[in-house]
């Protein structure tokens, strides 16, 4: 797909969503772009600000607060409602105007929040938060999103200006930047770390066709600089959030850096990293640049060093041991999870933290490609739900298609039915009655959501519940939540915090269902591909009460919504609605559990059959490797010996005998073994 085609399709997408949601194309552009920047790790969360008529010249379009880095992020949208041929470039003048606009907004907030918005409106609370927290901000970031393409004449976007004593840094996402990331078949924009001023000495540890590994001494000052510049983007393969300095490990790291910096190397296990390509100096011994550096283990060490540097701790004597594995791009998804899984862990890491590589997400992806909703009246195409396990999949599956083939793909996989992994986390945590986590934003919520997934090493024993029935229920919950999200802004009582109202309303419905011992009729919703009007009307009644609850808080309602206190106080105030199992919208929970049990039992049979078929397909030479592995680790027995020899000959042994070797084959794979299939 060319950029011109991408641009046209995105503009059509914004138009479609605007008509569907009763918004504007610019609003849908802004929402889409900010969702993407959250997925890329460039933002933790955001809040779109509704504009008053008399504030359009100085009010930004959205706001974000990064508490970990004490950063205030002002977001400005520059949108052109034209086709690409008539659209002008994004110029330095427009960028400078964004700075002026942001400065005027901040000045007003600091001076008097009442001059920004009416008392107790969402915009007023944002202004008050800026005023109250001003001294805590270390810098200001102005983030520009635009569907214009940045002008080639804009060669320097770093502003030297300050707002009072705060440094101002710029970030710009134009549509071509989004296109480049999405079409690169990665979940992130390329990161190039430059060590030209102080090249890194390396010791090569091992080398294979798939990976080269090095031992490197990383200066702590440089590591702090890298983390300060790219923040969580270099931790994407290790999704764990940094827990400030609350754990004993982090306190110990900070204490060592402050009191015994020369002993840090001896006390600390170091970090484990990956990269896609290295550039060396003329000697071939020192690293000049690392392309796509990722810290897969040691995120807390890195963030603690960064925090120490912010606190002006002297780090010149500190070096960090760094294991660096260079992996080709097409091998990253296979090898990085293994490196992270087996790396020494300074704090235990749940293996589910490996984000989109977790088998749960792979299973949901498979189900989404396989299951086709029943045809709907007046519908053209199959209308499948497309689970985008990693950013850019939807686009990349169209890359090699002709324009007519792309249209056919989009008919069968409409953009409106696309689900990202962060969408999935927001939906399921809402139904799991965790609206306070959802209210913290997509990335923070996703980190919480993955804690609920089975450990990778325990997946085989726990994956039968993730079956077709589970997928139908997931889609039913998604349909209900999206339907409510579309309707809330249309209500007379609406006051501008839709995400918080929606997640709390869904959680409240879930609580009422739990108390009533009923569940949603997911099969009915799957068949109709729509939310029953009775459920939607009930949710809107809940939403009005919840909106009143949030708005009655004396401070910022969005901040209040992020606290578990908000949920507990809501439970104490609202009356639980007792729902009836009418067989239409709601079903008795005993029936649901019975159906789930049957689906789980059936999935276990399918899983077992697939594994057995897989064993029959293993290549003769690969069986020899597995055989040697079993000998080495004393796993061999006469029965297993005969079984492997039978499989090598292509014979089909008794089903019961296959079970005795499945465990050994899984262990072989888990420890890094691989096999080929028969040709």
> CA-CA distance, 232 to 447, in Å (whole number)?
12
Closest CA relative to residue 292, chosen from 320, 324, 337:
324
Residue 595 lies in a domain: no
Estimate to the nearest angstrom the gap between the alpha carbon of 610 and the chain centroid: 30
Evaluate if residue 395 carries a pLDDT over 90.
Answer: no
Q: Any idea which of 14-28, 111-125, 250-264 has the lowest mean pLDDT?
A: 250-264
Both 313 and 374 in one domain: the answer is: no
SS3 of 55-110: the string is HCCCCCCEEEEECCCCEEEEEEEECCCCCCCCCCCECHHHHHHHHHHHHHHHHHHH
Both tokens assigned to 586: 């709601």
* Residue 404: pLDDT band with limits 50, 70, 90: confident
**Which residues make Cβ contacts (< 8 Å) with residue 172, sequence separation at least 6?**
90, 95, 143, 144, 145, 146, 150, 157
Backbone φ and ψ for 268, nearest 5 degrees, come out as -105, 140
Both 8 and 108 in one domain: the answer is: yes
Evaluate if residue 653 carries a pLDDT over 70.
Answer: no
- Whole-number pLDDT of residue 33: 92
- Whole-number pLDDT of residue 434: 95
**Which residues make Cβ contacts (< 8 Å) with residue 309, sequence separation at least 6?**
220, 221, 224, 225, 228, 315
Both tokens assigned to 83: 């086709």
Estimate to the nearest angstrom the gap between the alpha carbon of 188 and the chain centroid: 11
Both 419 and 550 in one domain: the answer is: yes
Give 339-352 as a DSSP string: HHHHS--SS---GG
More confident residue, 364 or 239: 364
Both 132 and 29 in one domain: the answer is: yes
Domain that holds residue 112: 3-182
Residue that has been written with the tokens 């083939």 in this structure: 405
Both 262 and 368 in one domain: the answer is: no
Q: Checking phi first, is residue 392 left (phi over 0); if not, alpha (psi -120 to 50) or beta?
A: left
Q: Which of 163, 182, 201 represents a domain boundary (last residue)?
A: 182
More confident residue, 54 or 137: 137
Q: Could you give the count of Cα atoms lying within 13 Å of 90 in the half-sphere of its Cβ?
A: 25
> CA-CA distance, 388 to 356, in Å (whole number)?
9
Q: Any idea which of 12-21, 228-237, 436-445, 478-487 has the lowest mean pLDDT?
A: 228-237
Mean pLDDT of the chain: 82
Residue 379 lies in a domain: yes
Q: Where are the alpha helices (DSSP H) in 349-496?
A: 359-370, 393-396, 403-412, 421-431, 435-438, 442-449, 459-462, 468-487
> CA-CA distance, 630 to 661, in Å (whole number)?
10
Both 526 and 640 in one domain: the answer is: no
* Residue 300: pLDDT band with limits 50, 70, 90: confident
Helix or strand (DSSP H, E) at 10: helix 3-21
> CA-CA distance, 500 to 508, in Å (whole number)?
12
155-202 pLDDT per residue, tens: 445 555 778 888 888 888 988 888 888 876 655 667 889 999 999 999
Tally DSSP H helices, then E strands, for the chain: 27, 18
> CA-CA distance, 102 to 78, in Å (whole number)?
13
* Residue 237: pLDDT band with limits 50, 70, 90: very low
Estimate to the nearest angstrom the gap between the alpha carbon of 183 and the chain centroid: 18
CA distances from 217 to 211, 320, 324 (A): 20, 6, 10
For residues 78 and 146, the answer to whether their CB atoms sit within 8 Å is yes
* Residue 439: pLDDT band with limits 50, 70, 90: very high
Residue 205's SS3 state is strand
Residue 546 lies in a domain: yes
Buried-state track 398-408, b at ≥16 Cβ within 10 A, e below 16: beeeeeeebee
Both 259 and 241 in one domain: the answer is: yes
CA distances from 182 to 3, 17, 330, 361 (A): 11, 20, 16, 19
577-624 pLDDT per residue, tens: 999 988 889 998 888 888 778 877 777 665 665 566 567 778 888 888
Both tokens assigned to 408: 């056919």
- Whole-number pLDDT of residue 243: 36
Both 219 and 256 in one domain: the answer is: yes
Look at strands 386-388 and 271-275 and give their pairing. Answer: unpaired
- Whole-number pLDDT of residue 85: 85
Residue 498 lies in a domain: yes
For residues 408 and 201, the answer to whether their CB atoms sit within 8 Å is no
Helix or strand (DSSP H, E) at 307: helix 299-310
Cα end-to-end distance, the chain, whole Å: 33
- Whole-number pLDDT of residue 349: 41
Evaluate if residue 626 carries a pLDDT over 60.
Answer: yes
> CA-CA distance, 142 to 487, in Å (whole number)?
32
Look at strands 386-388 and 139-146 and give their pairing. Answer: unpaired
Evaluate if residue 108 carries a pLDDT over 70.
Answer: yes
Residue 677 lies in a domain: no
For residues 672 and 338, the answer to whether their CB atoms sit within 8 Å is yes
Residue 605 lies in a domain: no
Both 153 and 271 in one domain: the answer is: no
> What pTM was computed for the model?
0.70
318-346 pLDDT per residue, tens: 999 999 998 876 666 566 656 665 554 44
Looking at residue 150, what DSSP letter applies? B
Please compute the mean of the pLDDT values over residues 14-26 and round it to a whole number: 87
Please enumerate, as own/partner, the contacts of 50-56 that have beta carbons within 8 Å and a separation of 24 or more: 50/122, 50/123, 50/496, 52/117, 52/123, 55/116, 55/117, 55/123
**Which residues make Cβ contacts (< 8 Å) with residue 330, sequence separation at least 6?**
none
Q: Checking phi first, is residue 142 left (phi over 0); if not, alpha (psi -120 to 50) or beta?
A: beta
Q: Where are the alpha helices (DSSP H) in 183-271?
A: 220-230, 248-259, 264-267
Residue 594 lies in a domain: no
Q: Could you give the count of Cα atoms lying within 13 Å of 359 in the half-sphere of its Cβ?
A: 16
Residue that has been written with the tokens 């897989």 in this structure: 614
For residues 539 and 486, the answer to whether their CB atoms sit within 8 Å is no
Both 327 and 368 in one domain: the answer is: no
> CA-CA distance, 329 to 437, in Å (whole number)?
33
Residue 135: other Cβ atoms inside 10 A: 7
Total domain count, the chain: 4
* Residue 565: pLDDT band with limits 50, 70, 90: very high
Estimate to the nearest angstrom the gap between the alpha carbon of 159 and the chain centroid: 30
- Whole-number pLDDT of residue 245: 41
Q: Which of 182, 216, 233 represents a domain boundary (last residue)?
A: 182
238-291 pLDDT per residue, tens: 434 333 344 445 667 777 788 778 888 887 888 888 888 899 999 888 999 998
Q: Any idea which of 6-15, 341-350, 530-539, 635-644 has the lowest mean pLDDT?
A: 341-350
Q: Which of 330, 349, 368 represents a domain boundary (last residue)?
A: 349
> CA-CA distance, 420 to 35, in Å (whole number)?
10
Both 585 and 632 in one domain: the answer is: no
Closest CA relative to residue 369, chosen from 333, 332, 409:
409
195-222 pLDDT per residue, tens: 999 999 999 888 887 788 999 999 999 9
Residue 172 lies in a domain: yes
Both 502 and 452 in one domain: the answer is: yes
Please compute the mean of the pLDDT values over residues 373-393 and round it to a whole number: 76
- Whole-number pLDDT of residue 352: 36
> CA-CA distance, 635 to 628, in Å (whole number)?
10
How many residues can be counted in the chain? 679
């Amino acid at each position: 797909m060319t950029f011109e085609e991408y641009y046209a399709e995105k503009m059509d997408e914004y138009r479609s969503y605007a008509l569907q949601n009763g918004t504007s194309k610019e609003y849908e552009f802004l929402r889409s772009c900010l969702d993407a920047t959250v997925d890329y790790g460039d933002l933790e969360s955001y809040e779109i600000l509704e504009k008053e008529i008399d504030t359009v010249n100085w009010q930004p379009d959205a706001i974000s607060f990064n508490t970990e880095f004490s950063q205030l992020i002002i977001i400005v949208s520059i949108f052109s409602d034209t086709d690409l041929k008539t659209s002008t470039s994004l110029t330095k003048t427009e960028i400078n105007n964004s700075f002026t606009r942001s400065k005027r907004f901040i000045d007003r907030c600091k001076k008097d929040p009442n001059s920004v918005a009416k008392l107790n409106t969402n915009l007023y609370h944002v202004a008050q938060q800026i005023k109250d927290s001003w001294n805590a901000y270390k810098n200001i970031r102005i983030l520009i999103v635009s569907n214009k393409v940045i002008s080639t004449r804009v060669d320097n976007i770093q502003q030297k200006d300050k707002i009072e004593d705060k440094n101002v840094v710029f970030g710009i996402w134009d549509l071509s930047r989004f296109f480049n990331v999405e079409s690169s078949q990665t979940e992130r924009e390329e990161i190039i770390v430059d060590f030209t001023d102080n090249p890194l000495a390396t010791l090569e540890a091992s080398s294979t066709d798939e990976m080269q590994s090095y031992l490197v001494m990383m200066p702590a000052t440089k590591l702090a600089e890298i983390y300060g510049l790219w923040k969580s983007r270099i931790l994407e393969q290790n999704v764990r959030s940094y827990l400030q300095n609350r754990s004993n490990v982090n306190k110990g790291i900070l204490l060592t850096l402050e009191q015994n910096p020369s002993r840090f190397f001896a006390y600390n296990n170091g970090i484990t990293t990956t990269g896609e390509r290295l550039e060396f100096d003329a000697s071939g011994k020192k690293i000049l640049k690392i392309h796509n550096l990722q810290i897969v283990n040691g995120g807390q060490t890195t963030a603690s060093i960064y925090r120490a540097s912010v606190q002006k701790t002297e780090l010149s004597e500190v070096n960090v041991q760094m294991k660096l594995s260079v992996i080709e791009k097409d091998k990253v998804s296979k090898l990085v999870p293994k490196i992270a899984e087996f790396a020494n862990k300074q704090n235990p890491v749940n293996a589910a933290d490996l984000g989109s590589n977790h088998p749960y997400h792979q299973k949901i992806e498979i189900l989404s490609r396989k299951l086709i909703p029943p045809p709907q009246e007046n519908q053209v195409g199959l209308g499948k739900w497309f689970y985008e396990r990693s950013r850019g999949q939807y686009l990349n599956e169209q890359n090699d298609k002709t324009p007519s083939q792309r249209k056919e793909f989009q008919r069968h996989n409409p953009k409106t039915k696309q689900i990202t992994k962060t969408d999935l986390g927001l939906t399921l945590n809402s139904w799991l009655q965790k609206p306070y986590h959802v209210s913290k934003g997509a990335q923070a919520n996703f980190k919480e959501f993955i804690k609920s997934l089975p450990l990778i090493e325990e997946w085989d024993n726990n994956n039968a519940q993730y079956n077709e029935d589970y997928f139908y229920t997931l889609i039913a919950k998604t349909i209900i939540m999206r339907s409510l999200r579309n309707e809330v802004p249309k209500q007379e009582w609406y006051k501008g915090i839709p995400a918080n109202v929606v997640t709390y309303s869904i959680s409240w419905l879930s609580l009422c269902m739990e108390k009533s011992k009923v569940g949603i009729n997911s099969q009915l919703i799957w068949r109709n591909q729509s939310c029953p009007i009775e459920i939607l009307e009930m949710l809107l009644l809940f939403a009005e009460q919840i909106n009143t609850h949030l708005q009655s808080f004396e401070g910022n309602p969005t901040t209040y919504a992020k606290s578990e206190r908000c949920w507990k106080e809501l439970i104490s105030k609202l009356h639980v609605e007792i729902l009836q199992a009418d067989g239409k919208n709601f079903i008795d929970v005993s029936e649901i559990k019975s159906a789930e049990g049957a689906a789980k039992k059936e999935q276990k049979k399918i899983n077992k059959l697939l594994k057995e078929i897989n064993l029959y397909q293993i290549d003769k030479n690969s069986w020899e490797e597995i055989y040697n592995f079993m000998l080495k680790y004393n796993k061999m027995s006469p029965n297993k010996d005969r079984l492997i020899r039978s499989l090598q000959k292509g014979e089909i042994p008794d089903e019961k005998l296959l079970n005795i070797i499945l465990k050994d084959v899984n262990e072989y794979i888990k420890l890094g073994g691989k096999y080929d299939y028969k040709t």
